[in-house]
């Protein structure tokens, strides 16, 4: 329709011009007291007027304020969200709000939506993802402070950045005046298709089609069915699922809350129960600062290791601790825990089972029962139930919920729950290794990260050691790397190096388009990847990320590598020791000592550059997080560090 016709129709739509000019207003009166009028801020009083106006009645406008914060996306029966993880969260918001009203509380629902790493993967906007966690946290924190009379916070979130941001928000209540209670409702998981591929495997479709692994008809069918239900996080134990497990391990959710199937009553019941628990916390003066302690952080790190969690939580757990005003765990702390804690969960992408089976087998509390037997948890840590972790686990062990779900998994899916969550002895006998290692070496003198448990056993020797010496092929962005993979430029057995993808260079995006392609193309499955970027939680194989210093840092060796340099990789997957070294050039390997000399003589490559599509606000975050400890410090924005860096010249005495 021509623009002029549209405008004429708009200007001549006479029925829409009929509306009242006044309203009788809400029913009833406000329950002000004399003390309210004499002593409370005008904002509190006006807020009550707003409450009456929004609800149409003054009857409950002064009830205790309970704030529901969510990462809701989409709108029911109208518009889609950006991803399944937030597409159904409105259901949890609604259930929690009704429960608050039943309990005599006044609910407020506010939200800041989140993006999907998978949707931006390989696009020019993959660079926004990690920094968006901090943006979401700030937005949620701002909205919460916009309800000054809040007496409790219920946070609802699901996915990679939204849930870590929400956990940071609830953690930050530790630093509020008073003893504010808070609780988290994880958004759960989507179900796997009856036939087809999970949402992680499906992301290599383009590369597999380019190599003739799948045809067009197969790709069309597989792509359609991968996200089999409209809500929940992906079906593998990636960042979203790990973030849910970590929130529960910290004591911030109800027992057996992580990984519930989205959209079903067992999922919505978590919102009802969490609202009731939050009211009880308020009535008993149980605040987040009594729950989120150093012990709770360590419990979360222990569960992360036992479940083979995403390496992205190495960024998020320190950030959650920082938001709570606690000591940020270090790389050494994670290393110590990973050496002690057995991995006992068989779940995609490293294993074979989807996340809903982990939930049915008992989820986080079932894992914690095994860890408790090994004395690896602080069972005296308080939780949002008002009980200690140990008390929660005892109730879980004897619960009908545990018995019925585990029986259903065996009867209806033919899966023994003890094959999903294994005893430590059985996991060890089957060759389950520890989760995360931190190789150093002349390429990564300040460290790197690899999910050791994700390297296929055929690439390891009898002692569980991965060794590789091969020439490298270098790229300064991911798009050129994936092009080289699809076009056959990358040869079998090479080491792929992708630089300029750290926080300073590109916002530290995930490089899953490349790692998924390497996994999905058989002849490239022996290739290794080294990068200053990070990885999707679904990444598997010999992929070494978080290389530090990153390529654009002044003292980086990564930014000196060239095509044909010989790279030596060593990783002991049992002792979690490893190294990434330049050992020669022009296809000739000599030694790490010779590599040190070569790197000392070289200048940084001239083609290194900041991603031209990196928005200014992401660059600002990158600079501040670099001053605040960088990725090893959780990519936070630490005000004390920033003030020290800026110096007294611009700050008041």
Residues designated as active site: 536
Cα 154 to chain center, whole Å?
18
In this structure, are residues 421 and 358 in contact, taking their beta carbons and an 8 Å threshold? Answer: yes
Is the bond leading into 549 cis (omega within 30 degrees of zero)?
yes
Tell me which residue of 242, 276, 278 sits closest to 259, measured CA to CA.
Answer: 242
In the three-class reduction of DSSP (H, G, I as helix; E, B as strand; rest coil), residue 307 is classed as: coil
Alpha-helix residue ranges (DSSP H) falling in 88-146: 89-102, 117-120, 129-145
What pairing do the DSSP bridges indicate for beta strands 65-70 and 106-111? parallel
Q: Tell me the angle at which helices 294-306 and 363-373 cross, rounded to the nearest 10 degrees.
A: 100
Cβ atoms of residues 406 and 360 within 8 Å: yes
CA torsion sign, 78 to 81 to 86 to 87? Answer: positive
Strand partners, 109: 68
Token pair 């070496």 in the structure block, residue: 441
In angstroms, the CA 110 to CA 525 distance is: 45
The SS3 assignment for 582 reads strand
- Distances in whole angstroms, Cα of residue 201 to Cα of each of 219, 344, 516: 12, 23, 7
- C-alpha 647/C-alpha 630 separation (Å) is 20
Burial call 107-137: b when 16+ CB within 10 Å, e when fewer: bbbbbbbbbbbbebbbeeebbbbbbbbbbbb
CA terminus-to-terminus distance, the chain: 64
Pairing of strands 436-437, 182-186: unpaired
The first and second tokens of residue 386, run together, are: 């008002």
Per-residue CA distances from 163 to 10, 91, 485 (Å): 42, 17, 33
CB 550 within 8 A of CB 502: yes
Contact 53, 117 (CB under 8 A): no
* Burial class (CB within 10 angstroms; exposed 0-12, middle 13-18, buried 19+) of 375: exposed
Handedness of CA 550, 556, 562, 567 (dihedral sign): negative
The token pair that represents 32 in the structure block: 């002000």
Classify residue 329 by burial, with Cβ atoms within 10 Å: 0-12, 13-18, 19+. buried
Beta bridge partners of 469: 568
């Amino acid at each position: 329709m021509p623009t002029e016709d549209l405008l004429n129709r708009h200007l001549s739509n006479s029925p829409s011009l009929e509306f009242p000019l006044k309203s009788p207003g809400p029913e009833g009166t406000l329950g002000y007291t004399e003390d309210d009028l004499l002593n409370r801020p005008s904002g509190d009083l006006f807020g009550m007027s707003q409450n009456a106006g929004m609800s149409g009645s003054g009857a409950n406008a002064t009830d205790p304020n309970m704030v529901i914060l969510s990462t809701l996306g989409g709108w029911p029966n109208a518009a889609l969200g950006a991803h399944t993880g937030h597409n159904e969260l409105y259901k949890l918001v609604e259930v929690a709000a009704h429960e608050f009203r039943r309990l005599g509380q006044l609910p407020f629902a506010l939200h800041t939506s989140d993006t999907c790493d998978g949707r931006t993967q390989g696009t020019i906007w993959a660079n926004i993802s990690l920094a968006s966690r901090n943006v979401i946290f700030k937005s949620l924190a701002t909205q919460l402070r916009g309800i000054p009379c809040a007496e409790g916070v219920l946070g609802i979130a699901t996915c990679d950045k939204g849930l870590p941001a929400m956990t940071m928000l609830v953690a930050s209540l530790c630093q509020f005046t008073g003893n504010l209670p808070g609780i988290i409702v994880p958004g759960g998981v989507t179900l796997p298709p009856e036939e087809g591929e999970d949402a992680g495997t499906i992301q290599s479709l383009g590369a597999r089609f380019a190599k003739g692994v799948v045809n067009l008809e197969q790709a069309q069918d597989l792509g359609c069915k991968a996200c089999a239900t409209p809500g929940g996080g992906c079906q593998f134990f990636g960042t979203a699922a790990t973030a849910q497990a970590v929130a529960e391990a910290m004591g911030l959710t109800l027992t057996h809350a992580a990984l519930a199937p989205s959209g079903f009553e067992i999922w919505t019941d978590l919102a009802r129960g969490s609202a009731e628990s939050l009211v009880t916390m308020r009535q008993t003066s149980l605040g987040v600062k009594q729950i989120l302690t150093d012990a709770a952080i360590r419990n979360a790190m222990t569960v992360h290791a036992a479940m083979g969690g995403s390496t992205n939580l190495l960024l998020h757990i320190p950030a959650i601790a920082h938001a709570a005003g606690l000591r940020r765990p270090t790389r050494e702390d994670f290393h110590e825990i990973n050496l002690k804690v057995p991995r006992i969960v068989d779940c995609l992408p490293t294993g074979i089972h989807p996340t809903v089976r982990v939930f049915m087998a008992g989820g986080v509390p079932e894992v914690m029962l095994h860890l408790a037997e090994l004395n690896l948890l602080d069972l005296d840590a308080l939780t949002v139930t008002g009980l200690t972790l140990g008390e929660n686990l005892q109730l879980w062990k004897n619960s009908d919920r545990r018995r019925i779900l585990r029986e259903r998994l065996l009867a209806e899916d033919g899966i023994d729950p003890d094959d999903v969550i294994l005893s430590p002895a059985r996991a060890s006998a089957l060759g389950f290794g520890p989760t995360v290692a931190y190789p150093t070496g002349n390429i990564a003198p300040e460290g790197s990260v690899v999910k050791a448990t994700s390297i296929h056993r055929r690439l390891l020797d009898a002692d569980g050691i991965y060794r590789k010496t091969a020439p490298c092929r270098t790229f300064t962005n991911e798009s050129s790397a994936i092009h080289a993979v699809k076009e056959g430029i990358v040869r079998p057995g090479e080491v792929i190096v992708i630089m300029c993808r750290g926080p300073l260079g590109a916002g530290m995006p995930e490089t899953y388009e490349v790692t998924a392609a390497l996994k999905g193309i058989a002849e490239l499955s022996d290739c290794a990847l080294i990068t200053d970027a990070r990885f999707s939680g679904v990444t598997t194989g010999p992929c070494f990320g978080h290389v530090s210093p990153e390529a654009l840092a002044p003292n980086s060796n990564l930014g000196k590598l060239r095509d044909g340099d010989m790279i030596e990789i060593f990783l002991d997957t049992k002792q979690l020791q490893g190294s990434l070294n330049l050992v020669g050039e022009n296809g000739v390997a000599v030694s790490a000592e010779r590599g040190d000399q070569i790197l000392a003589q070289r200048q940084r490559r001239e083609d290194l550059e900041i991603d031209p599509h990196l928005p200014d606000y992401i660059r600002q975050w990158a600079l501040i997080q670099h001053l605040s400890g960088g990725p090893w410090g959780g990519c936070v924005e630490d005000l004390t560090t920033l003030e020290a860096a800026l110096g007294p010249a611009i700050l008041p005495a």
